[in-house]
């Protein structure tokens, strides 16, 4: 009886060790892994900006008129970020930056808030769309 107990104990022990070994994370998708990496960058509790590189320059220049949330919920390439800045300069009284400041701001934005494959795709340009069957019913 005592031998039976002892061997049952061994079986239990072997099972325990066998099951507790972690599975290799082979089924984790690339985007999930990417998000884990991104999540490791600390965010500023006040603005929500990722605290990397020139984030304080962006905080200083980009949160005077609106919440940083407008920035953190946006994504874009360097070109797209520059276009947003040009739009604000033209329409929203955003001041001009010296070239060095501007390129550092753009680099921060494009590095930390790049286009994201998991998000909704960009709209298809109108000239690449099929003809609109309701063209006469509505204004466009
Ligand atoms: C002088 C004021 C001002 C400053 C400074 C400013 N913005 Fe803006 N920004 C605006 C206004 C006004 C809007 C439009 C807000 C709205 O639509 O409610 C806007 C909108 C935005 C949007 C949303 C654009 C969209 O298409 O939805 C983003 C992103 C943005 N700003 C980023 C920035 C960044 C990055 C900086 C720093 C380089 C910055 N802003 C600095 C005035 C400013």
Q: Which residue has the higher pLDDT, 137 or 3?
A: 3
pLDDT at 129: 87
Output the six-digit token pair for 64. 């005077």
Q: What separation in Å is there between the alpha carbon of 85 and the centre of ligand 1?
A: 7
Pick from 117, 120, 119, 114: nearest CA to 52: 114
pLDDT at 134: 81
**What's 39-55 look like in SS3?**
HCCCECCCCCCECCCCH
Contacts of 69 (CB under 8 A, 6+ apart): 48
The ligand 1 atom at the shortest distance from the C-alpha of residue 64 is: 5
**Predicted confidence (pLDDT) per residue in 35-59, tens digit:** 555 557 899 999 999 999 999 999 9
> Which H or E run contains 96?
none
88 lines ligand 1 (CB under 6 A): yes
Q: What is the mean pLDDT of residues 94-121?
A: 91
Q: Which residue has the higher pLDDT, 8 or 64?
A: 64
Measured distance CA(131)–CA(15) in Å, rounded: 64
**Predicted confidence (pLDDT) per residue in 68-103, tens digit:** 999 999 999 999 999 999 999 999 999 999 999 999
93 lines ligand 1 (CB under 6 A): yes
Nearest CA to ligand 1 atom 15: 66
């Amino acid at each position: 009886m005592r031998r039976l107990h002892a061997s049952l104990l061994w079986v239990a022990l072997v099972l325990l060790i066998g099951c507790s070994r972690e599975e290799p994370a082979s089924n984790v998708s690339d985007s999930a892994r990417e998000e884990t990496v991104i999540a490791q960058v600390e965010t500023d509790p006040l603005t929500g900006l990722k605290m990397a590189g020139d984030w304080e320059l962006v905080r200083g220049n980009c949160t005077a008129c609106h919440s940083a949330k407008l920035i953190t919920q946006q994504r874009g390439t360097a070109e797209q970020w520059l276009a947003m800045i040009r739009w604000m300069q033209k329409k929203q009284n955003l001041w001009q930056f010296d070239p060095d400041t501007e390129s550092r701001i753009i680099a921060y934005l494009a590095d930390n808030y790049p286009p994201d494959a998991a998000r909704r795709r960009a709209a298809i340009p109108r000239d690449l769309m099929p003809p609109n069957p309701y063209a006469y019913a509505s204004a466009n």
